[in-house]
């Protein structure tokens, strides 16, 4: 059976790395690099004009990172390449899942891993499977973390509150489940929508949609979700701040 010939575009700001990757890809039978750029501002337009099967997208580029390029690319609804993120940092590999990337490659590129990624893409193309841009957008809205059991995707709207537990954070979700995440509360706070969540103390972040009452005497926020009441301690200083926020929304 004749192999499916794939096309690829590379967006990589380091010219040496770009040339190396292009050489590795072109050395593999059944795939050809049809375009490349070291300018992240040109990447989305180039990809849209060439409409390749695969896009090798560097995560960390000056001025505009790979995730921002992908956000631009999603606007082209008819363009649905498989996205392969390239990164020197394993932490970005986790974010690749957030954007539903087809795969990710760690620098320096392992030729065998690259070949396996291309082979997998070829198999998917045989079944006419396409990466859904709508799915990319949907997953983009979710948070993704490592837990003790693997990768966890969490929709912020499903969070009732988050509690600090040493170097871990406990996510209390609307379905009653608790997820233990290996990320500290401070970092999580910066990833949440500021208009929906508020860090009431060193220990708790709450979803304001579930806030029913502030008990100033006991210094507690009372949350209500599916008939269940939750009480989270709030610091003295944050009581006034939170009350002012609520007044502004009234």
Full pLDDT tens readout for the chain, 250 residues: 445 689 999 999 999 999 999 999 999 999 999 999 999 999 999 999 999 999 999 988 888 888 788 878 877 767 778 888 888 776 655 555 555 567 778 888 999 999 998 998 888 777 655 554 444 445 555 677 777 666 677 888 899 999 999 889 999 999 999 999 988 898 888 888 888 999 999 999 999 999 999 999 999 999 999 999 999 999 999 999 999 888 776 5
Distance CA 94, CA 88 (A): 12
Q: 127 with 151, same domain? A: no
> How wide is the angle at C-alpha 246 spanned by C-alphas 243 and 250, nearest 5°?
135
- State pTM to two decimals: 0.54
Among 76, 110, 139, the domain-final residue is 139
Confirm if 23 and 37 have CB atoms less than 8 A apart.
no
Q: 57 with 91, same domain? A: yes
Return the pLDDT at 132: 46
Return the pLDDT at 182: 86
Return the pLDDT at 149: 65
Return the pLDDT at 135: 46
Confirm if 79 and 51 have CB atoms less than 8 A apart.
yes
Contacts of 128 (CB under 8 A, 6+ apart): none
Among 139, 169, 204, the domain-final residue is 139
Return the pLDDT at 9: 97
CATH number of residue 153's parent domain: 2.40.50.1020
Contacts of 233 (CB under 8 A, 6+ apart): 200, 201, 203, 204, 219, 220, 221
Return the pLDDT at 134: 44
Return the pLDDT at 52: 93
Residue 68 sits at φ, ψ, to 5 deg, of -70, -35
Among 105, 122, 139, the domain-final residue is 139
Count of domains forming the chain: 2
CATH number of residue 103's parent domain: 3.40.50.2300
Residue 182 sits at φ, ψ, to 5 deg, of -90, 50
Q: 120 with 32, same domain? A: yes
Residue 221 sits at φ, ψ, to 5 deg, of -100, 130
Q: Exposure of 148 by Cβ count < 10 A (0-12 exposed, 13-18 middle, 19+ buried)?
A: exposed
Q: Is 1 domain-assigned?
A: no
Domain extent at residue 82: 6-139
Q: 32 with 105, same domain? A: yes
Q: Is 124 domain-assigned?
A: yes
Return the pLDDT at 59: 83
Q: Give 250's DSSP letter.
A: -
């Amino acid at each position: 059976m004749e192999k499916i010939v794939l096309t690829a575009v590379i967006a990589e700001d380091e010219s040496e790395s770009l040339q190396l990757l292009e050489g590795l890809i072109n050395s593999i039978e059944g795939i050809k690099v049809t375009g490349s750029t070291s300018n992240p501002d040109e990447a989305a337009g180039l990809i849209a004009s060439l409409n390749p099967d695969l896009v090798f997208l560097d995560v960390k580029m000056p001025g505009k990172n790979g995730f921002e390029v992908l956000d631009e690319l999603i606007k082209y609804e008819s363009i649905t390449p498989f996205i392969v993120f390239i990164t020197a940092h394993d932490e970005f590999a986790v974010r690749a899942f957030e954007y539903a990337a087809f795969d990710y490659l760690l620098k320096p590129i392992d030729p065998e891993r690259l070949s396996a990624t291309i082979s997998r893409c070829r198999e998917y193309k045989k079944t006419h499977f396409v990466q859904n841009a709508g799915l990319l957008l949907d997953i983009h809205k979710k948070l993704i973390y490592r837990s003790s059991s693997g990768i966890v995707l969490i929709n912020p709207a499903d969070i009732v509150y988050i509690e600090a537990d040493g170097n871990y954070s406990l996510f209390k979700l609307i379905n009653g489940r608790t997820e233990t995440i290996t990320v500290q509360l401070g970092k999580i706070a910066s990833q949440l929508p500021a208009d929906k969540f508020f860090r009431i103390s060193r220990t708790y972040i709450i979803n304001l949609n579930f806030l029913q009452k502030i008990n100033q005497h006991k210094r507690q926020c009372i949350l209500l979700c599916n008939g269940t009441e939750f009480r989270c301690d709030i610091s003295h200083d944050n009581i006034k701040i939170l009350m002012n926020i609520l007044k502004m929304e009234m």
